Amino acid sequence: MNRTVRRLAAGALLGIAAALAAPAPPAAAHPLGNFSVNQLAALAFHPDRVAVTATVDLAELPTLQERPAVDADGDGAASPAERARHAATGCAGFARDFQVAVAGEGLTWRVVGQQFGYAEGAAGLATSRLDCRLVASAALDRPATVEIANRYRVDRVGWRELTGTGHGVRLVDSPLPAGSVTGGLRSYPADLLSSPVDVRSARLRVEPGPGSAPAAPAPTTPSGSPGWLAGAERTLHGLVGEHGLTPLVGGLAVLLAAVLGAAHAALPGHGKTVMAAYLAGRQGRPRDAVTVGATVTLTHTGGVLVLGLLLTGAVGLAGEAALGWLGLASGGLVAAVGIGMLAGVRRHRAHHHRHGQHDHHRHSHRFGLLGIGVAGGLVPSPSALVVLLGAIGLGRTGFGILLVLAYGLGMAATLTAAGLLLIRVRDRWWAYIRVPWSGLGRRLAAAAPAGTAGLVLLVGLGLAGRAAATLT
C-alpha cells in the first residue's frame, strides 16, 4: 500500500513539474491584478493646440464585467459596429473627465480618433484596450501655466501615467516624463511594481521655443510575480483555457490548483498568525486545527462562487472594492474573536468557581474556532476568481467549481499543517519549562490567555485598518 501511495505521489509531482516546464501561454501583463484598469495619457503641446493620445487597458475581470455593455444585442459576440460604438462612448467619457486648463481656462476636447478591441488574457478570458485621440485649441505661443487633472474612472485601481512633449513649445519645470516607461501599457517594469505609477495631476509652464522629442521607452524587465508561483499560475490559466480538455489535463489542473492554494496560504497573511495565537492560548487540540482548515476551505470556496456571480451580474461593481470590504469584514471578525477572548478571560478570573463555567468556555471556544476559520477564508483569491470565471466562460462551470474547491483544500492543508505543528511545539515547550521553572511556567500560563486575546485583537484591528486604507 505504501509503495502504491508513493508511486501515485511521484506521478502527481512529475505531472505538475511537466506542466510547469511546458511553455506557458501568453498572459496579459497586468501586474497590479486581474481587477486593474490601467491608463496612459500622452500630451503633445503645440503653439495652437494640445493633443492627447490616451490608452485605457482593462484586465480580465473588468473586461468580463463590461462585456454586456459592448455586446448590445446580446448575441455573445462583439461585432465591429458594437466595438465602434463602445469606443465612441468610452472616448467621450475620457474627454469629459480629462481636464486641462491653460492660463486658468479649461480646454474643450474633440475626439478625432477612437478604437476598442480585445486580446487574449488568462484562463481563456479576454482583456480589452481603448485608444482615444483628443485635440483642443489652445494659445501656447506665449508663456502660460498648464494644469492637468485626470478624473477618468477614479474608482478603479491601476497604473496611471502622464507624459508630455513640446512641439514648437518649450516645457518649463515639467514634472512629466517625455516617454512612457511601459511602452504604452504593454510592458510594466518589474522594479516599479512595489510602488506603481499613479500620476493623476500635474502643473507646468510653457513658453515659445524648441520642443522636446519623445524619449525612447526605458528597457523593462518582464512583469508579474517572480518565481515559480507566477509560472504555476500562468500554467493553470493555460490549462483552464485549453479548448481540448482531456482527463489528463483536467487532473493536472486540479493538482496544480491544490498546490497553488497551499502556496497561497503559505504567503504572509491568511490568518496564520491569528490561528497560531488562538490555538496556543486556548489549549487547542489537533481536531481544532482541522476544524479551522475545513472552515477556511468552505468559506473560501463559497466566497469565490458568490463574488464570481456578483462580478458577472453587476457591471458597476468594482472587484477591488468588494475585496476591500471583505477584508474589512475579515479583520472585524478577528477583532470580535479577540474581544470575546478578553471577555472570557475576565469571566474566568471572576467566576472560575461558578458551576457551568466549563460548558460556557467550550461553547465560546467553538465559536472562536469558526470565527478564525471564516476570517481566514473570507477574502477570495483573485487568481481563483479568474480560474472560475474562465471555466464558466468556456462552458465548464462544474470544472471551475472543482478547481476552486481544490484551491481551497490546498489552503486548508497548509493552515491545518501549521496548526498541528504549532500544537506540537506548544506541548513540548510547556513540558520543557514546567519542571525546571515551575514558578515561571505558572506565571506564563496565567498571563498567556490575556496576552493571546490582546494579540488576536491587535491583528484583527490591523487587518481591518489595512483593508479600510484600500477603500479610501
Q: Record the cell numbers describing residue 226, joined without a space.
A: 517572480
Domain range summary for the chain, segments of one domain joined by +:
37-208, 228-471
Cα dihedral value 407, 409, 413, 415, nearest 10: 80
The overall pTM is greater than 0.85: no
Question: What is the H or E stretch that residue 234 is in?
Answer: helix 228-240
Buried b (16+ CB within 10 A) or exposed e, 92-107: eebbeebbbbbeeeeb
Distance between CA atoms of 73 and 86, rounded to whole angstroms? 13
Say if residues 402 and 389 touch (Cβ distance below 8 Å): no
10 Å CB burial of residue 243 (0-12, 13-18, 19+) is exposed
Say if residues 287 and 295 touch (Cβ distance below 8 Å): no
Residue 328's φ and ψ, nearest 5 degrees, are -65, -40
Helix (H, G, I), strand (E, B), or coil: what is residue 320?
helix
Q: Record the cell numbers describing residue 289, joined without a space.
A: 486545527
C-alpha torsion sign, points 276, 303, 460, 451: negative
In 3D space, the residue among 379, 400, 393 whose CA is nearest the CA of residue 236 turns out to be 400
pLDDT in tens, the chain (472 residues): 455 444 444 444 444 444 444 444 443 446 566 778 899 999 999 999 999 999 999 988 888 888 888 988 888 788 999 999 999 999 999 999 999 999 999 999 999 999 999 988 877 788 899 999 999 999 998 999 999 999 999 888 888 999 999 998 999 888 999 888 888 888 777 665 556 788 899 999 999 888 665 554 544 444 444 456 667 777 777 777 666 677 888 888 888 888 888 887 776 655 555 665 565 555 567 777 777 777 777 887 888 888 877 776 665 566 667 777 777 877 777 777 778 777 776 776 665 555 544 444 454 557 666 777 777 777 777 778 888 888 877 778 888 888 888 888 888 788 777 777 776 776 676 566 555 555 555 565 555 566 667 767 777 787 777 777 767 6
